[in-house]
């Protein structure tokens, strides 16, 4: 197998908590705490977990939209944590992001043409006439009429705005796209249209996707592999089919038990997690999931579970998986 396009090792992002007028730091929010994975060209890695588990922070740290606290990020053979600001700007042509909120991610004062030509201008791609031509091409590619280029964001629906966000990420012809819950704010019917568009684009351009989402049915449909996160840590990782057919971690089992079955005659035993998500500023000792785990033992409160491969390509962080 070829080398991964993206290789992330022991990624950490801590946000210091400053107290008092002097700004002293006594604690830190451990938003991402030791995450490792890889993504091949043309592959989709789904990332799932509860709100606050660090999914979005991880995605933005990979692109250095926020600076990681620690870890190694190799993209296309380059250690991007060692790049200067100017070098990182050039690298970002290859690494783009689509944000969750299609309303907040577009500048309301820019026409769609200005929104789409701005990244081209920043990176010095083509002249003004060629940029206009590319805007028409990319709008057609995402299913929008090229005549819409003169309109402003408020003149579009949520699904159309998300298509514009995808077009903005795609226009620089990247190799990797981080999709930060790109369909979470859309109606179900529009979600399927955007998912189909993403799949078509991936097949055409050979893009790698990191697909962050809450909706496990969407993740199952679009992902080749799935990474489950809990409180900034990795819980489980496997191919999409393997994870949904044979979940090993108690947290993964609880998440999957909440997915509706589109058949009224079938029932799934629901796993109810007790208690609230612990604070990432003061995570539990041992296994971070033990405070809510239905099968936790004394060992879980003391020992951090090893990230281990149970079967081929199926990794889990649990003492009793």
Distance CA 64, CA 84 (A): 11
Chain segment 204-243, per-residue pLDDT in tens: 999 999 999 988 889 999 999 999 999 999 999 999 999 9
CATH entry, 6-18+26-94+174-316, from 3.40.50.300, 3.40.50.720, 1.10.1740.10, 3.10.20.740? 3.40.50.300
pLDDT of residue 315: 96
- Dihedral sign for Cα atoms in the order 244, 250, 255, 258: positive
pLDDT of residue 91: 93
Residue with tokens 């604070």: 279
Average pLDDT over every residue of 256-275: 80
Distance CA 222, CA 228 (A): 15
pLDDT of residue 299: 94
| CB 259 within 8 Å of CB 286 | no
| CB 290 within 8 Å of CB 298 | no
Chain segment 128-172, per-residue pLDDT in tens: 889 999 999 999 999 999 999 999 999 999 999 999 999 999 999
pLDDT of residue 314: 96
pTM of the model: 0.92
Average pLDDT over every residue of 173-183: 94
Q: Is the pLDDT of residue 268 over 90?
A: no
Distance CA 160, CA 151 (A): 12
Query: What is the pLDDT confidence band of residue 304, given thresholds at 50, 70 and 90?
Result: very high
Average pLDDT over every residue of 13-22: 78
**Nearest Cα residue to 92 out of 123, 130, 129, 121:** 123
pLDDT of residue 263: 75
> What is the percentage of the chain residues whose pLDDT exceeds 90?
73
Residue 278, token pair as written in the block = 């612990």
Average pLDDT across the chain, whole number: 91
Q: Where are the domains of the chain?
A: 6-18+26-94+174-316
Average pLDDT over every residue of 34-38: 96
End-to-end CA distance of the chain: 28
Q: Is the pLDDT of residue 23 over 80?
A: no
């Amino acid at each position: 197998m070829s080398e991964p396009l993206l290789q992330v090792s022991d990624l950490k992002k801590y946000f210091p908590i400053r107290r008092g007028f002097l700004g002293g730091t006594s604690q830190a929010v451990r938003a991402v705490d030791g995450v490792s994975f890889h993504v091949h060209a043309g592959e989709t890695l789904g990332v799932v977990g509860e709100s606050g588990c660090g999914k979005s922070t991880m995605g933005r740290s990979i692109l250095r939209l926020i600076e990681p606290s620690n870890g190694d990020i190799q993209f296309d053979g380059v250690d991007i944590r060692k790049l200067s600001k100017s070098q990182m700007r050039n690298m970002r042509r290859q690494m783009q992001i689509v944000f969750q909120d299609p309303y907040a991610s577009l500048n309301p004062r820019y026409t769609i043409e200005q929104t789409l030509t701005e990244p081209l201008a920043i990176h010095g791609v083509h002249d003004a006439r060629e940029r206009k031509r590319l805007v028409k091409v990319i709008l057609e590619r995402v299913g929008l009429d090229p005549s819409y280029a003169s309109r402003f964001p408020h003149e579009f629906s949520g699904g159309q705005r998300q298509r514009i966000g995808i077009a903005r990420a795609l226009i620089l012809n990247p190799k990797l796209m981080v999709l930060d819950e790109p369909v979470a704010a859309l109606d179900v019917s529009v979600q399927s249209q955007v998912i189909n568009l993403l799949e078509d684009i991936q097949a055409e351009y050979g893009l790698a996707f990191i697909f962050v989402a809450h909706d496990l049915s969407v993740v199952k449909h679009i992902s080749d592999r799935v990474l489950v996160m809990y409180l900034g840590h990795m819980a489980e990782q496997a191919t999409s089919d393997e994870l949904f057919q044979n979940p090993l971690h108690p947290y993964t089992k609880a998440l999957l038990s909440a997915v509706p079955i589109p058949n009224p005659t079938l029932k799934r035993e629901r796993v109810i997690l007790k208690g609230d998500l612990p604070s990432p500023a003061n995570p539990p000792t041992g296994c971070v999931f033990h405070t809510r785990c239905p099968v936790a033992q004394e060992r879980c409160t003391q020992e951090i579970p090893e990230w281990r491969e149970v079967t081929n390509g199926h990794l889990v962080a649990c003492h009793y998986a």
